[in-house]
Amino acid sequence: MQHQYGTAGKRKTKYYDIYPGIDDLKEPARRRIPYFAWEYLDSGTGIERLVDHNRQRLRAIEMVPKFVGGNFDVSLQTELMGETYDLPFGVAPVGMTGLMWPGGELMLARTASRNNIPYCLSTVACQSPETVGPLCDDNGWFQLYTPFDREICLDILKRARDSGFKTLVVTVDVPVPSMRERQRKAGLRIPPQTDLKTLLRVAARPQWAWATLLHGKPGLPLLEKYAKSGDLKEVSSFFGRQLNNVVNLDYIKYIRSQWQGKLVVKGVLHEEDARMLVEAGVDGIIVSNHGGRQFDAAPAAIDALPAVVKAVDGQCAILFDSGVRTGLDVVRALALGAQFVLLGRAFLYGIAALGEYGGDHVVNILDEDIANNLKQLGVREISELKSCLR
């Protein structure tokens, strides 16, 4: 993809000047979805120190531009684990996306397919892999919370593979559910409460309420088969029993032996974990602190990145997420050694604010911002970025 300096060309849409940045989508998103859904989307855990810290540490990274290299085009096409994507970022797995905007998983899968970027479907999505897989073309990744029961694990892997997902992302940074105080105060429960306060909150968001009527109440369809029930209360208690799991190396090796596609482990911060995962034969590692939603005293993910890059030493791909809100943040993570970047909340703000093409608008914002900042830096290739760090 070639970029003209200072223009998004055909990518300019009606949203271009109204929501030029991802943060501009936050307030419209908040106003369109019920309070409990917003608190689920936006919150962290504890005193939410890490949510801010992730962003502040990204912002603190300075890069030194070079100005006399002449005029050039920038290519953002990125090779990752044998695949070619048009851009160096994709959509992170987000559980219960359909709670934040009904049908959100379907929208983001279509966004990924239209823009040739990956979309990662969560184990706890409101749509099944069988529904979402075919919408992703070849860009579908599937995220796994490892069940205790390995028979269930095998069946989930089979369903993901048969639905067209080629990359498996195993999340390891949820040993137990975190405190999520804001969500609890907002009355977020599974299944959703039907008390007067909740109903009034839903009534205050008529577009969301209407869309929910059309799509049906959000559920966890992947898990219904194993919970042997469509009742959300049963399914969620099954989730509590089966999927809140400390993942050990033995389990990763087992999955490695059972999954023929690319295997990525998500939620790594410590270089010792990274080394062990390389030995277990993973294809990629996502340096992430779950967007600050799990352990509030963790380091900013961007601060953990260089040590993991060094420990892995090119033996598998390194991806990054947590706190990314601009194209320049993507550039910063790439400069520090990530090959690819994922974003969670940014895409959720997009669909909650704008619906079907909200995710595409987020892609456009990032695409133009990355290309522009590479030009500002005087860097033709992502691989040159390191030379601008001090």
- Interface residues with ligand FMN (CB under 6 A)? 40-41, 92-95, 122, 124, 143, 171, 266, 288, 290-291, 293, 321-324, 343-346
Q: Cβ closer to ligand FMN: 92 or 370?
A: 92
Q: Cβ closer to ligand FMN: 262 or 266?
A: 266
Structure tokens at 291: 């967007």
In angstroms, give the least distance from the CB of 380 to ligand FMN: 27
Whether the CB-CB separation of 265 and 170 falls below 8 Å is answered with yes
Structure tokens at 94: 């987000």
In angstroms, give the least distance from the CB of 344 to ligand FMN: 2
Whether the CB-CB separation of 255 and 153 falls below 8 Å is answered with yes
Q: Cβ closer to ligand FMN: 74 or 330?
A: 330
Q: Cβ closer to ligand FMN: 74 or 212?
A: 212
Q: Is the dihedral of CA 277, 280, 285, 288 positive or negative?
A: negative
Structure tokens at 74: 């920038």
Catalytic residue among 3, 53, 290, 361: 290
Structure tokens at 31: 């106003």
In angstroms, give the least distance from the CB of 155 to ligand FMN: 19
Distances (CA, A) of 182 to 42, 178, 363: 9, 11, 29
Give the whole-angstrom CA distance, residue 88 versus residue 359.
Answer: 15
Q: What residue ranges in 190-337 does DSSP mark as E strands?
A: 262-268, 284-287, 317-320
Strand 78-80 relative to strand 83-85: parallel, antiparallel, unpaired?
antiparallel
Whether the CB-CB separation of 330 and 310 falls below 8 Å is answered with no
Strand 284-287 relative to strand 317-320: parallel, antiparallel, unpaired?
parallel
290 is catalytic: yes
Q: Cβ closer to ligand FMN: 205 or 375?
A: 205
- Please enumerate in sequence order all residues whose Cβ is within 8 A of that of 303, keeping only pairs 6 or more positions apart, or say none: 57
In angstroms, give the least distance from the CB of 6 to ligand FMN: 27
Q: CB nearest ligand FMN: which residue?
A: 344
In angstroms, give the least distance from the CB of 78 to ligand FMN: 18
- Annotated catalytic residues are 290
